[in-house]
Amino acid sequence: METAVIKTPIGYAEFKGDEQGLAAVKVLDTATVTVIPTVLQEAANQVLAYFEGSRTTFDLKLNPQGTAFQKKVWQALLKIPYGTTTSYLELSKTLGDVKAIRAVAAANGKNPLWIVVPCHRVIGSNGELTGYAGGLSRKKWLLDHESPVKQGKLF
């Protein structure tokens, strides 16, 4: 398993993966930027393009480790379009079991592929931001970054 670290506007992104695919992307508060192994170069390029605003989807071979249910939830997350949000309740309904809301939320929280599998696009049913492994300030930043309406400066 290869590892690389890049700097992003909201912290450092650490990538882990190999020829089987990208296994993990997580955000760190502090880290040392590393040389990017060939196997992780495309993932790093696509994440940087996302932050530059020139990429709204990812086209990467993914290999996250998790249970069958977690992988089902992560697949559902991939279907949430850029610039939109859904609730844990709606995600549960999409997966066919409204009563699985807590299990869906737990699987969402275990998502090992930060940004690439967009768990930040899931919010509370009341529209409030809820838990995010990278912190709510990062979740808000990501949602603002993806917002089709950009707030301009007044002065």
Each domain of the chain, given as residue ranges in start order, spans 2-52, 68-146
Residue 85 neighbours by CB under 8 Å, 6+ apart: 121, 122, 123, 143
For residue range 52-67, what is the model confidence (pLDDT) as tens digits?
Answer: 999 999 999 999 999 9
Cα–Cα distance for residue pair 77/55, rounded to 1 Å: 17
Contact 77, 118 (CB under 8 A): yes
Whether 111 is a known active-site residue: answer: no
pLDDT for 15? 98
Within 8 A by CB and 6+ apart from 129, the residues are 123, 136, 139, 140, 143
d(CA 73, CA 51): 24
d(CA 103, CA 106): 5
* pLDDT, tens digit, 9 for 90 and up, residues 115-137: 999 999 999 988 888 878 788 99
pTM score above 0.75: yes
Q: Strand pairing partners for 29?
A: none
Catalytic residue among 39, 119, 122, 123: 119
The CATH number that domain 68-146 falls under is: 1.10.10.10
